[in-house]
Structure 1
Amino acid sequence: MSQQIQPCAYCRGTGKDRFRVMSALSTCPACHGKKCHHLTPPLVKCAHCRGSGVSPTGTRNPCLACRGKGVHHRSPKAAKCPHCLGSGTAPGNLGFYCIPCHGSGVQFTP
């Protein structure tokens, strides 16, 4: 299966740290300055960070569920996760991603 080049969601394709925490010259912690990710389709938007690549906890870190990519690789036979109901966030735990679907909001169905 061929790979698809996806711009880094965390740094918005700049290769630099989005929040310039250390310095304006710091490289992106998600793509390590490469500006993109090589991913295998099909891809679904990360439900946990809503595709932004940024942790929804407000910590200025990459999303733990998608590692800052903003997307997840999922099988064509994917359905809404019954644990988080497609939100990507663990039920009752604000800020944590859903473990069964790894924050994607979808799960493989046989």
Structure 2
Amino acid sequence: MKKARLSRDTVVFEELTCAFCGGRGRDPFDIMSSLSTCCVCGGSGKVLVRAPAVACAHCRGTWAVKTLTCTTCGGRGFIPHPVSPTVSCSLCKGSGDDASAPAMACLKCRGTGWMMEQFRKEKGVYE
């Protein structure tokens, strides 16, 4: 874990294996060159995600949705999970997918599969 200091709060990051390149640091498709670096991790094979990190619900930790890079996690395969209480998204039922177009992230939870309980109470979002 790495620590960063933003204002007065200490932010902790987890160093995880890049889901896009599988930790190799190279472009997994060899489109430009077999020597080109991964566009997600920049060639390190690792990504930093704010702790605690969980697998992305939209791409299920694989980095891709159909043939597109996941817009929820940006290809990392992981997203930060808030420390405040959360509930499963009532629209996508926790899948992170838009029911009308599975390649798109849920508009209510933005592909995470959950919503913060405090947000639901403040905004009057109920099942």
What TM-score results when the alignment is normalised by the length of structure 2? 0.76
- 1 or 2, which has the higher strand percentage? 2
Tell me the distance in 2 between the aligned counterparts of 1:29 and 1:99: 26
How far 1:34 sits from its partner (Å)? 2.1
Secondary structure of the 2:29 match is coil
Q: Percent identity?
A: 34
More helix by share: 2
Gaps of 5+ in 2: 1-10, 119-127
- State the secondary structure of the residue aligned to 2:12: coil
**1:78 and 1:42 mapped to 2: Cα distance?**
13
Bigger relative contact order (CA 8 A; separation at least 6): 1
d(CA) in 1 for partners of 2:86, 2:100: 24
17-26 vs 83-92, which moves further? 17-26
Larger gyration radius, structure 1 or structure 2: 2
Residue 67 of structure 2 corresponds to which residue in structure 1? 58
Q: Partner of 2:115: helix, strand, or coil?
A: strand
Q: Give 1:17's aligned residue.
A: 27
Structure 1 residue aligned with 2:82, among 75, 86, 109? 75
Partner of 2:101: 93
Q: Is the 8 A contact 2:49 2:78 kept in 1?
A: no
Give the CA deviation at 1:105.
Answer: 1.0
Aligned-residue offset at 1:7: 1.2
**Does the Cα contact within 8 Å between 1:45 and 1:104 map onto a contact in 2?**
no
Task: Write the deviation string for residues 40-87 of structure 1: whole angstroms up to 9, x where unpaired.
Answer: 212221111110112x1224xx31110011111121312211121111
In 1, distance between residues paired with 2:32 and 2:81?
34
> SS of the residue aligned with 1:2?
strand
Mean CA deviation greater in 97-106 or 3-12: 97-106
Q: Is the 8 A contact 1:74 1:108 kept in 2?
A: no
Identify the residue that residue 33 of structure 1 maps to in structure 2.
43
